Amino acid sequence: MTLTLTRTRRTAVRAAGVAVTGALALGLLAAPNALADENPYPSASAAPPVKIDPNDPDLKLPEGGTLAAAKVLDIKSVVEDLEGNERREDTNTDIKFALQAEVLFGKDSAKLSSAANSRIAAIAAEIKKQDAKKVRVFGFTDNLGSSAHGDVLSKQRAEAVHTVLAKELASAGITYEIRGYGEQYPIADNTTEEGRKKNRRVEVSFQRTASGS
């Protein structure tokens, strides 16, 4: 009797398994969600857009009101090399290069290094391409040492970069604005060496032209 019951139960289990498998194959039963096979880029919703009442008073200009003139937003693009030694900023109207002092000068010095000329020459080539007629050369330092010393050093460094630019662009008829701002206008945190390194810089900026873009 026991043997007969056991065989009957096994037969019933097997029959149930076959039935479930067949139902899955025919699509009668849903398989559990397989998350790994879901599309990682789901399509946009196909829901219809919200209906808008064109006669809604909140969507109308008040009597006598006019729309403001169209305005092109000023978009800034910033590109920095992997070492952070050089940064270029582009807007709709201007181009600005920022060179860290370490790639141009020795420590606490305004004498250009051997590698500085090629970097400045590359900036001169962009100025010539843009046919810029006014170039700004501004020097900056970190907040170490006295403020007066930083003012003098930053101006001397700006003048050193200007000398190379003027030589490269001798026949371009360019007017230069040269300033030394010392520790003013930091672009990074002066409490860390990494931040101070970014603040020790010379910036060269000029106007973008339609022909040079």
Report pLDDT digits (tens) over 134-168.
Answer: 999 999 999 999 999 999 999 999 999 999 999 99
Q: What is the mean pLDDT of residues 118-130?
A: 95
pLDDT of residue 43: 53
* Nearest residue to 181 (alpha-carbon basis) of 138, 213, 124, 127: 138
Does 71 have pLDDT greater than 60?
Answer: yes
Does 124 have pLDDT greater than 60?
Answer: yes
Report pLDDT digits (tens) over 89-102.
Answer: 999 899 999 999 99
The model's confidence at residue 53, banded by pLDDT at 50, 70 and 90, is: confident
The model's confidence at residue 57, banded by pLDDT at 50, 70 and 90, is: confident
Does 45 have pLDDT greater than 60?
Answer: no
What six digits make up the tokens of 89? 């900023």
User: Picking from 58-72, 74-88, 165-179, which range would have the lowest pLDDT averaged per residue?
Assistant: 58-72
pLDDT of residue 131: 94
* Nearest residue to 187 (alpha-carbon basis) of 178, 173, 198: 198
pLDDT of residue 7: 47
- Contacts for 72-81 with beta carbons within 8 Å, 24 or more apart? none
Does 61 have pLDDT greater than 80?
Answer: no
Report pLDDT digits (tens) over 6-40.
Answer: 444 444 445 445 444 444 444 444 444 444 445 54
Amino acid symbol at 174: I
Q: What is the mean pLDDT of residues 114-121?
A: 92
Task: Quote the mean pLDDT of the chain.
Answer: 81
Residue 61 CA to residue 49 CA, distance in Å, equals 23
The model's confidence at residue 64, banded by pLDDT at 50, 70 and 90, is: confident
More confident residue, 109 or 211: 109
Amino acid symbol at 168: E
Name 172's bridge partners: none
